[in-house]
Amino acid sequence: MAVVSTPTTLAPSLPALDNTEVGRIRNDFPVLDQLVNGRRLVYLDSGATSQNPLSVIEAEQEFYEQRNAAVHRGAHHLAVEATEVFEDARQTVADFIGAGYEETVWTSNATEGLNLISYALSNAALWAAQGRGDKRLKDLAVGPGDEIVVTEMEHHANLIPWQELAFRTGATLRYVPIDDSGALQLEQAQGIVGDRTKVLAFTHASNVLGVINPVQELVALARRAGALVVLDACQSAPHMALDVRALDVDFAVFSGHKMLAPTGIGVLYGKQELLDVLPPFLTGGSMITTVTMDRAEYLPAPQRFEAGTQRISQAVALAAAVNYLTETGMDRIHRWESELGQRMVSGLERIDGIRVLGPASGQERIGLAAFDVTGVHAHDVGQFLDSRGIAVRVGHHCAQPLHRRLGLTATTRASAYLYNTTDDVDDFLDAVSGVRAYFQA
């Protein structure tokens, strides 16, 4: 099985990224060429929302200029062209993650994808109880006595939908704890994931800790228990090669706005044999075969889960973003961001009064670092950095339980992407080194 979290050897024709090439890449991102508070913009908030290259902006604009029409609904020329580029985009994204065309569902974002899965699983119990749908539904139904397992480091989007699924069905929610360094306690996980586990949902890479979780070990636990695996790939799909079939997860989600695409588009991957059985989440037009006044029959995936007018231009733009990432090289991007992440962490560790969350310098992490400054609130740190043209994220990063476990209410997070240079990181570190003196902390 491929180990997706470890970069593979670079092909001779694709040398490692360096500051010179990244400088050329930056020319594709017009938003980066500006001053903020009289300083050059250092954008280190891509973990929340990435910037868009010209090719992505132009792809969405070209759709509206040349072929704007509803998909799957018309026989006229524009409708046919719109449908073609919409479905071509699906295939592009499917290829990017090693999935099949029928296994790739458009959503508004990863959060919608996770809610889709959780509601489909609770609907499975209703359908199975009424003898509706495929007989395999009873094996997917979640109910009293069943357990749903998450981890203590999850983003709220991969926690609250499972809390609500437990509430709706009478199942029990459990979690795999982390240790003081932020690593999952896998020995405890072996006693938590068991015969009653129906779902194991976890993040591939933490949006706070930067840690890359051992997907293969967690999947193995789920397989022994006969549980479904749901992977939050929001912080991995944009930054490293991802092969959902090699990882053997049942479902995976990610958002376009974190990987050079516009907001309003996300992806749900699901194994075809599961998607074709699960009841739909949203219902309406475009996802049905036959409708009477009493009931409806539904299309197979992916249309089964795509009710109503779709996110057409956004899907086209996401495909353009995927092409940009692919042409740059995902392994090259991962190696470069890992270098930037190490530079961040090692630099922060040398500054007095700084506590960095997650793996220490020298240990594998994605290109982000969340940290606490002794005596200074994260929001004040963020405003201080902004005054120097440096954009970072502050707050609990939609991970309150994780922060609570580590004795914090908020942190400052810097997150890099393929358009950041070592100068960006050094400017950031130089600014952070002056925070405590400025606030007299």
398 is catalytic: yes
Catalytic residue among 272, 398, 405, 422: 398
- CA separation for the pair 309, 96 (Å, rounded): 24
What are 238's two structure tokens?
């944009």
- CA distance to 58, 105, 245, 255, per residue, from 272 (Å): 33, 11, 11, 20
Residue count of the chain, please give it. 441
Residue 149's H or E segment, with its range, is strand 147-151
| Count of C-beta atoms within a 10 Å radius of residue 76 | 10
**Dihedral sign of CA atoms 224, 230, 235, 236 in order:** positive
C-alpha–C-alpha distance, residues 183 and 161, integer Å:
23
Give the C-alpha separation, 408 to 169, whole Å. 33
Task: Give the contacts of 170 (CB within 8 A, at least 6 positions apart).
Answer: 143, 144, 145
- In order of 163, 202, 335, 336, 366, the CA distances from 7 in angstroms are 34, 21, 7, 11, 11
What positions carry a catalytic annotation?
398
